[in-house]
Amino acid sequence: MKTPTAAILVVGNEVLTAKVQDENGPYAAKRLRALGVQLTALLTLPDQLDVLAEAVARERTRVDWLFTSGGVGPTHDDVTLLAIARALGRSLARHPVLADHIRGWHRRHGAEPPEAALRMADVPEGTRLAGDPAYPVMVVENVVMLPGVPQFFRAQFDAFTAVLDAPPFRLASVYLGIAEDLFVQALDRVARDHADVDIGSYPRFDDADHRVRVTFEAKDAARVEAALRAFLATLPDGALLRREGP
Amino acid sequence: MKTPTAAILVVGNEVLTAKVQDENGPYAAKRLRALGVQLTALLTLPDQLDVLAEAVARERTRVDWLFTSGGVGPTHDDVTLLAIARALGRSLARHPVLADHIRGWHRRHGAEPPEAALRMADVPEGTRLAGDPAYPVMVVENVVMLPGVPQFFRAQFDAFTAVLDAPPFRLASVYLGIAEDLFVQALDRVARDHADVDIGSYPRFDDADHRVRVTFEAKDAARVEAALRAFLATLPDGALLRREGP
């Protein structure tokens, strides 16, 4: 089975201007990993129509799912849905179910919605609703349009991704007491010989109990183990402090 | 004076695979803001040569400075410098000063550096060294190549950006007790009439003491104040809970 792929586009002037730190990207990264989905890009861009439309057009062709976060409210800086429509060559159209949701919410609070609120139901033509019908997730082609407010982002992200299901990634780590340049040539060879295993090398220069963590990751635990063993066989005595996984 | 612009490219398999949460992007975002520099993109991409080369070629033409984080070590997954060289149509060449640094460091630790360590001195042709000569920052054209290890990233980022100096951004915020859709039309008009002021609207749905924070930001405090006052004049009595700045 091909590993599903995803990208995340955070529409975040407030992140770029350092007013807040993004929570949605890290949350989605963690959840996608647990679901066995490969995250290939995490982009934070400003709420500019042309910038967003270009990024959506480019990134969505590279992945199975593009998740956007933010820019779906009623104010002038909420341009994400229009940008996605442009990227897909679609127009915006008022979605009757979403408009009913907004009307229902306002009536429960004792008023008809202003036109500005109903504009939140103007979505790329062909948008379908997924997840919980009481709080639907907007999806058009392979673009999933999520709100930026973290508690809503999480609820909708989880509702949508519950149906994604892929074999898990298998991760093994070795913690070493020697510097990178003492094993880099051996690791190079192992990486070449085991191209189906993702190998990462993460040196530490603080007071951690190890100097380098080397990670081996793939969907097939046997391949992870084979790459790891091939690497361990090259290490001098005493270099390995401990290992974890897969 | 034109506001200087910057983008950040985090080369971060470990971030995309949720092994660690990026610290360098948020750090740089905060520092750039304080320096009066506009951050226009924060991208996290995997350590794939073609993906990185394309992103560098695209993003660096849009900004005054492109900062990269990570992928500058000696291992097989350190491909950032090669990607930047490709993006700029340059080759890699061993930098004599950097090679001397590496030799000096190893000799102080009692050994000649292995060839693998010296490879860290293979940088895009024409790379110049900025900042502290004892711990130089690598810069080629408008690309600043920073290490991924957070304490080194910060030291080099601060050393390089110390020479950037632009007028500060002036930020004002109003905290409102009413929902967005009650003021969205008025805010739309203010945003149109004050196009030189960045206006953001950030609703809360938790137990915060306000329902929406509206921000006004520009380099000119008088323009910020003018936009803010124009907006305040449209609000119903009691809607404003408090204001901050500029």
Percent of all residues in chain A with a pLDDT value above 90, rounded to a whole number: 83
Q: Is A207 on the interface with B (CB under 8 A)?
A: no
Residues of B in contact with A74 (CB under 8 A): 180-181, 184
Mark yes or no for CB contact B181/A149 under 8 Å: no
Q: Report yes or no: B93 at the A interface, CB cutoff 8 Å.
A: no
User: What interface predicted TM-score (ipTM) does this complex get?
Assistant: 0.93
Cβ contacts of residue B125 below 8 Å, gap of 6+?
Answer: B85, B90, B91, B92, B93
Question: Looking at the complex, does the CB of residue B168 fall below 8 Å from at least one CB of chain A?
Answer: no
**Residue B190 pLDDT:** 97
DSSP for chain A reads -PPPEEEEEEE-HHHHTTSS---HHHHHHHHHHHTTPEEEEEEEE-S-HHHHHHHHHHHHTTSSEEEEES--SSSTT--HHHHHHHHHT--EEE-HHHHHHHHHHHHHTTSPPPHHHHGGGEEETT-EEES-TTSPEEEETTEEEE-SSHHHHHHHHHHHHTT---PPPEEEEEEESS-GGGTHHHHHHHHHHTTTSEEEEEE--SS-S-SEEEEEEES-HHHHHHHHHHHHTTSPTT-EEEEE--
Mark which residues 45-64 of A lie under 8 Å from B by CB: 45-46, 51
Is residue B206, in this structure, part of any structural domain at all?
A: yes
Report pLDDT digits (tens) over A62-105.
999 999 999 998 888 899 999 999 999 999 999 999 999 999 98
B111: contact with A, CB 8 A cutoff: no
Mutation choice for A interface testing from B14, B24, B75, B198 by most A CBs within 10 A: B75
Using one digit for the tens of pLDDT, what is the confidence trace for B23-81? 999 999 999 999 999 999 999 999 999 999 999 999 999 999 999 999 998 888 899 99
Residues of chain B contacting A198 with CB distance shorter than 8 Å: 13, 17
Residue the block writes with tokens 């405090």: B221
Same domain, B56 and B10: yes
Question: How far, in Å, CA of B221 to CA of A30, rounded?
Answer: 41
Q: What is the distance between the alpha carbons of residues B85 and B226, in angstroms, rounded to a whole number? A: 47
Boundary (domain end) residue, out of B161, B195, B216: B161
Q: Kindly report the nearest CA distance between residue B62 and chain A, in angstroms.
A: 11
Q: Which domain holds residue B67?
A: 5-161
Same-domain check for residues A145 and A79: yes
Query: For residue B186, with 0-12 CB atoms within 10 Å meaning exposed, 13-18 middle and 19 or more buried, which class applies?
Result: middle
The answer, for A180 touching chain B at a CB cutoff of 8 Å, is yes
The pTM score is 0.94
How far is residue A88 from each of residues A51, A66, A143, B37, measured CA to CA in Å?
14, 13, 10, 33
Distance from CA of B30 to the nearest CA of A (A): 5
Mean of the per-residue pLDDT values for chain A?
Answer: 94
Comparing CB atoms, the residue among A29, A114, A182 nearest residue B15 is A29
Burial class (CB in 10 A: 0-12, 13-18, 19+), B130: middle
Classify residue B211: in a domain, yes or no. Answer: yes
Question: Residues B138-196: pLDDT tens digits?
Answer: 999 999 999 999 999 999 999 999 888 889 999 999 999 998 888 999 999 999 999 99
How far is residue A148's CA from residue B203's CA, in Å, rounded to a whole number? Answer: 10
Q: What is the pLDDT of residue A59?
A: 98
Domain boundary among B161, B191, B215: B161
Claim to verify: residue B147 and residue B180 sit in the same structural domain:
no
CATH of residue A208's domain is: 3.30.70.2860
CATH of the domain at B65: 3.40.980.10
Nearest to B116 among A41, A181, A215 (CB): A181
- Of residues A39, A45, A180, nearest to B16 (C-beta): A39
A143-146 and A122-124 beta bridge pairing: unpaired
Contact call for B217 and A191, based on CB within 8 A: no
**B76 and B13 share one domain:** yes
In this structure, how many other beta carbons lie within 10 angstroms of the beta carbon of residue B62? Answer: 12
Query: In the listed set A102, A128, A161, which residue is the last one of a domain according to the structure?
Result: A161
Pairs of residues, one from chain A and one from chain B, whose beta carbons lie less than 8 Å apart = 154
